[in-house]
Structure 1
Amino acid sequence: MRILARHVNRRCFSGIMFFRYRTGDSMKSLKNWIMRLSIRKKLIFYSYLIIVPILFVISACLVFQNYQLAVKEHEENCVQSIQRLSDNLEVVQKNIVELATYICINENIRQILTCDNPAELNRDARFWVNNAPMRMVQDMVAIGGVVKTVAIYPENGVNPYLKCIDYASYIADMEQVQKENIYLLTVQKKGEFLWQRVGKDQSDTYEFNYNDKIVMYHEIYDLARKEKLGYVVLGSAAEVFDEICRDDLQNKDETVLIMSEYGAELARCGTVDDDMMEEILERSCTQPTAKEDIYISTWGNYKVYCCQSRETGVKVYKVTSKVRVLDVADSIIYAPLALLLAFLAGLCPVMFLVSNIVSKPLHKLGAAMDKFKNGDFSQKIEVVTFDEVGKASMCFNSMVDNIRELINNNYILALKEKQSELDALQAQINPHFLYNTLDSLYWKAVEAEDEEIAEDILSLSQMFRLVLNQGDSIVTVKIEMELLERYLHIQKMRFGKRFEYEIQIEQAMMAEEIPKLILQPFVENAIVHGFEKGENPFFLSIRGQKREGCLHFQIHDTGIGMSSQQMEAIWEKEKDPEHSSHRIGKYAIRNVKERMELIYHEDYELVIESEEGRGTTVRITIPSGLN
């Protein structure tokens, strides 16, 4: 045994070493193959090596997401299907219940059921038709088209009313009916409606029955619900219930089961066999505690949906197989796979183009070096880039010059190299160029008869002109209002009917001068912080009045408002310097406050009032007659 163990260990060790050896050789071969590739091929190889795994991960995420959506969609369809099935069954059963209710509450019928002299009534063979509205009952049966048999069994000894329109025949003996289990169960339920499927071979309700029926049983009591007056049995064609079940089946592997409130099977359609169906129902779906709630459970490869009607108490079960990946492969796999292959195919020419841009200068440098090696000392490479390749080209040119200077040491060459530097200065657009461009776009829109776009471009152009305003820091109220009007027009174009505004400024203050842009930051802040984060319609009002030598401005919005903590944080200075570059928000409000302090000192007022969910109001009061 020891010798055998040593032999086995030696063979395993040899196998591991052989595998490492072969793996090491493969890695060396791959490394040598990569090293022999040109720069262009290396760029393409490494690009695909990095991008392909990322794309596969993205595709896998898309497949998973699409599968989850497919499962959710399948579940929603099943829920809608079972709800629709329950509603259709409820309509059919409601017609039957309404007929039974009419029979129970009809005064003439109740007089027959409470008659103290049944023998006298029994002498007349047509007493039901003569003393009760049975013709109306027959008309209701004919109009509804669902009920096929009607039976009324009085408990006082009066002969029962038995009517069948499908060649069936009820049991006429009341004593025999009272011995049946279904009668005893109906009496036990104290006036509730019981539903049961009666086959053509069953005899607990009919003497002769040629078609399966869904039968409703109901015991009629007196007003005190103590004395039994009669027993109503209404039979409807089971084919109606079966047809509703068949219409609801969407796939061949689905099964629909209809059961009464007390567990009697009324209808079933589908491919799941009886044993499996019974096991699924026992393990996966219990009776709902609240009617019309839909319960979903899982058993093996099946999903079970259960719904119970609030009106009739009938429970509907739908059993369907789970959504498998192969079942929805067309929608969840092939599309991402096609997208992946298309992207990889489209990436190839792009990578060839990019690699050519990088490798072409290197090819030129290599060709120049070969000529220089053969004695051509006049080689020069044109430097068109300033990256690593450009630097190598410049070094090569410098090397050629130095070597040629050493060779031709009898000549003094005064070479002045001109180095090009790339200035990374921030370009500034000439305002006149901007105005002219917007003006050209405006006239193009006018020529195209698109007045809405033309008006929007005009508003944007005028807003830029008003904001720049040749660098003036003091403007009139009229100019400030024009700026606000143009700005709000652009926001109205952006948000549409969700955003409304109004500007009401007294004409007497239009010529007054105020600091530039002391109102616009508050308006912009109201829209960005009060409106963009909400979903409700938004209204903004701007009002101005001149009273007692002061200019009063009020900006009110119906946005989301601010809490007291947010109000206090407005005047706190940011510790993080990054926040100092914010265009709007606390920095802009403090900026307006500091500008007014520099201009008006203490002779101004800035008040901000806000309440969460009720909006924000900003009031600014400054002296008139600014010099």
Structure 2
Amino acid sequence: MKYLKKWYINLSIQRKILYCTLGVALVVLLAASVSQYMSASSIVTEQTRKQSAGVVNELSVNLDHYFDMVRNSFEYIANNSTVQEELESDEPYKSDGTELYSYYSRSGQIRRLLLQGYTSIYMKDIQLYGYNGANHLLANNREIHEKTAQISCELAEQAKGRCIYYNASEEGLMYMAKQIKDSLTMKPVGILRASIKLSYLKKMTITARDSLAAHIFLLDNDKNVLIESAENDATISDRSWIEKISGNTGEFLFTADGQGYDCVYQRSSDTGLTVVGMIPMSFLQKTARGLQKTTIMLILASLMLCIFLANILAKGIAGPIKRTSKAMQQFAEGDFSVRLPEGRRDEIGTMNSVFNQTIEKIEQLIKQVVEMETVNKDIEFQALQAQINPHFLYNVLDTINWMARKKGEDNICHMVTSISSLMRASISNKRSMVYIREEIKYVQDYLYIQETRYGDKFTSYIEVDERLNELEIPKMTIQTLVENAVIHGVENATWDCFLYVSGEITDGMAVFTVKDDGVGMSQEQLEKLMGTEEEPDHEAERTHTHLGVYAVRKRLDYVYQNKARMSITSEPGKGTQVILEIPMNGNVGVTYRKCDEPVNENNKKRGDER
């Protein structure tokens, strides 16, 4: 142990990382693979068992449908007026099916009725008895087992109108019989009986048998075996499993002749017949065995991959450490030109970055001081210039307004005032949040400008609940939505358009709607409008607004902590509707904390002046 510890200490860092990584990976890989295999094997086996049970249940349903068809034929024949008349007649027809008779006679009509319910593929014969002596037989083979037929008729009499199913497997048949009653007096008048070929029922089980590689049994109401269907006519001699069947449905495990089986059974409540599927466990585990091989292959492939990755990991960690150690030695000797690569984003890359930054800061300290002084002067100049330019524009607009007013041009005065108001809102007003009454004023100024521009091409109507006047929202939010409505809805329309702006309180939310009946937008245009593309930096390249719908939505998400909602619906040729929902936070006039507005008296004063 001491030797092993010494050997490990003396290993290079690369080999230590390699061996430790491989050891941990191998343990985790084996544990995870075994656990995954056991879990997957259990799931696959259980799923296969459920599918097998579904096949058995489907076979039971198919048998029920078949017997329902025969039972419906019995009901039709028994309730037929001709049959009723024959069974109550004082001169009934007695025949074994060999006599000739008129097509239009009562006997001929009854024979045609029996033909409707008789099919030689799955029936041996069908016979109508009457307590008045009537006897109508339809069969390919005239041989009738009188004793068995008599027993089925007696059982039918005991059932008093219900269909009974009698096992005659020694004859290869199952008898089905029903007592016929007078439709008015409900007095018993006869018996309708048919013998069904077990070979046909056995054919119905072939699909289920082959798909499951199973033994299919059909039991009668007394749990006697009617048929056994298995590949190559194999049989299971041990029948003790029959005693485990109880209830209408279920499953259990059973071992016979050294082979394990999963027994699934389904009993029909109508016929009393039970379908039993004995599915070999080898069939259920067949998929799991394939999964076992796949798991082994994955373990081997994963192990090879672990060796490869562990080697890369060891080299990736040990190599940079060697380079860093060498660079630090050069730095200690006075070489300030040494640099380490900074392309990595891990801890080593961070360490290299810090090392390089330390050297650069020492060399560039004086240069940074000089550059900072220059930058400060530029900032001061730009600040003064930013104040001069807007004031110059305001003075020009005021001059135009004064000249228009002097000449009595009220429309021009109103237009210039609206433009000036919008410019002050977007340039001079540094507040990030404004009251709804202020925002609506921006919208009114903008719409006045556009209505003047387009003339009678469109009209607008604004309807906002007065309780929302003191609510604060991010500046130019509604104005941007209105501007987009004009740009995308009205500008390209060839008809007169109407723009509607509303604001109301619904369920504690301030709901604003901007709706137009303009040209609308396609889905592609709507996605582009909601997109994240940045608008051009130069004013000459901007065609409409400096705030896109995407920017408005992002700002609302930030201010209201993702509690504000905005939805846009549009249809080409019919218009566009934008619905904006902003939380009231409990009280009108109280909103969430402002995103970037400085809180001081100067801001408040400028807001009051505005």
TM-score under structure 2 length normalisation: 0.53
Q: CA deviation at 1:70?
A: 1.4
Distance 1:350 1:189, change over 3 A: same
Aligned counterpart for 2:159 among listed residues 189, 209, 217: 189
CA deviation profile, 1:160-183 (whole Å, cap 9, x unmatched) = 222211x351256xxx678x5444
Cα deviations across residues 151-208 of structure 1 (Å, max 9, x unaligned)?
Answer: 22323334x222211x351256xxx678x54443333222222223435x64xxxxxx
What is aligned with 1:63? 37
Query: Counterpart of 1:348?
Result: 307
Matched residue type, 1:215: Y
Q: Percent sequence identity over matched residues?
A: 13
Q: Does residue 131 of structure 1 match 2:106?
A: yes
Q: How far does residue 46 in structure 1 lie from its aligned partner after superposition?
A: 1.0
* Structure-2 residue corresponding to 1:496: none
Report the number of matched residues. 410
Q: CA deviation at 1:596?
A: 3.5
Shift of 1:281: 2.6
Q: 1:108 aligns with which of 82, 85, 92?
A: 82
Taking the aligned partners of 2:327 and 2:74, their CA distance within structure 1 comes to 106
- C-alpha contact 1:92 1:146 (8 A) present in aligned 2: no
The Cα of 1:41 is off from its aligned counterpart by 1.3
Offset of 1:331 from its aligned partner?
5.1
CA distance 1:247–1:545, change in 2 (3 Å): closer
Q: CA separation of 1:119/1:92 partners in 2, compared to 1, >3 Å: closer, same or farther? A: closer
Instruction: Write the deviation string for residues 404-454 of structure 1: whole angstroms up to 9, x where unpaired.
Output: xxxxxxxxxxx9995999xxxxxxxxxxxxxxxxxxxxxxxxxxxxxxxxx
Decide which of 16, 22, 28 is 1:42's aligned counterpart: 16
Deviation at 1:279, TM superposition (A): 2.0
TM-score by length of 1: 0.52
Pair 1:287–1:387, CA change in 2 (3 A)? closer
Show structure 2 runs of 5+ residues with no match. Answer: 366-425, 444-459, 478-499, 514-558, 565-580, 593-607
- CA shift in 2, pair 1:42/1:190, >3 Å: same
2:127 — aligned with what? 151
Residue 302 of structure 1 corresponds to: 261
Alignment of 1:231 onto 2:191? yes
Give the C-alpha shift of residue 321 in structure 1: 3.0
- Which residue in 1 is equivalent to 2:116? 140
Query: CA-to-partner distance for each residue in 1:5-46, whole Å, 9 max, x for gaps?
Result: xxxxxxxxxxxxxxxxxxxxxx55654543343211110111
2:60 to 79, 83, 86: 86
What is the aligned partner in structure 2 of residue 583 from structure 1?
561
CA distance in 2, matches of 1:479, 1:279: 92
**Preserved contact between residue 152 and residue 175 of structure 2 (Cα < 8 Å):** no
Structure 1 residues 126 and 79 mapped into 2: Cα distance closer, same or farther (>3 Å)?
A: same
Deviation at 1:322, TM superposition (A): 3.8
- Check whether the contact 1:257–1:318 (CA below 8 A) recurs between aligned residues: yes
In the other structure, the counterpart of 1:245 is: 205
Report if aligned partners of 1:44, 1:355 keep a CA contact under 8 Å in 2. yes
User: What's the CA shift string for 1:462-484, capped at 9, x where partnerless?
Assistant: xxxx9xx9872227657999xxx
Q: Is the 8 A contact 1:155 1:230 kept in 2?
A: yes
1:316 to partner: Cα distance:
1.8
Distance in 2 separating the partners of 1:120 and 1:390: 108
- What is aligned with 2:72? 98
Query: Pick from 208, 216, 228: which aligns with 1:268?
Result: 228
Q: What 5-or-longer segments of structure 1 have no aligned partner?
A: 1-26, 203-211, 289-293, 396-414, 422-465, 482-504, 521-541, 557-580, 600-624
CA distance in 2 between counterparts of 1:479 and 1:308 reads 79
Q: Secondary structure at the match of 2:205?
A: helix
2:449 paired residue number: none
Matched, 1:315 2:274: yes
- What is the 5 A alignment of 1:502-517? 507=462, 515-517=472-474
Q: 1-side partners of 2:179 and 2:563: how far apart?
A: 75
Question: Distance between the aligned counterparts of 1:227 and 1:30, measured in 2?
Answer: 102
Q: Does 1:280 align with 2:258?
A: no
CA distance in 2, matches of 1:162, 1:325: 48
Deviation at 1:249, TM superposition (A): 1.4
Contact 1:83 1:307 in 2 (8 A): yes
Post-superposition shift, 1:318? 1.7
Q: Which residue identity does 2:157 align to in structure 1?
A: V
Using the alignment, how far apart are the partners of 1:546 and 1:153 within structure 2? 84
Contact 1:477–1:514 (CA under 8 A) maintained in structure 2: no
The amino acid across from 1:152 in the alignment is L
Q: 1:137 to 1:169 in 2, by over 3 A?
A: farther
1:151/1:325 CA distance change after superposition, 3 Å: closer
Deviations 1:319-378 (A, max 9, x none): 213477852246533444444444443343333233223222555689999x99xxxx97
Q: Secondary structure at the match of 2:154?
A: helix
SS of 1:148's equivalent in the other structure is strand
- SS of the equivalent of 2:160 reads coil
Say if 2:153 and 2:193, in contact at 8 Å, map to a contact too. no
SS of 2:161's equivalent in the other structure is coil
The aligned runs of 1:303-382 (5 Å cut-off) are 303-322=262-281, 327-329=286-288, 332-361=291-320, 363=322
Distance of 2:32 and 2:75 partners within structure 1: 63
For the structure 1 residues 358 and 230, does the alpha-carbon distance in structure 2 shift closer, same or farther, using more than 3 Å as the test? same
CA change 1:198–1:594 in 2 (3 A) is: closer
Cα distance change of structure 1 residues 140 and 368 upon mapping to structure 2, 3 Å threshold: closer
2:136 is the alignment partner of 1:164: no
Mapped partners of 1:135, 1:319: distance in 2: 43
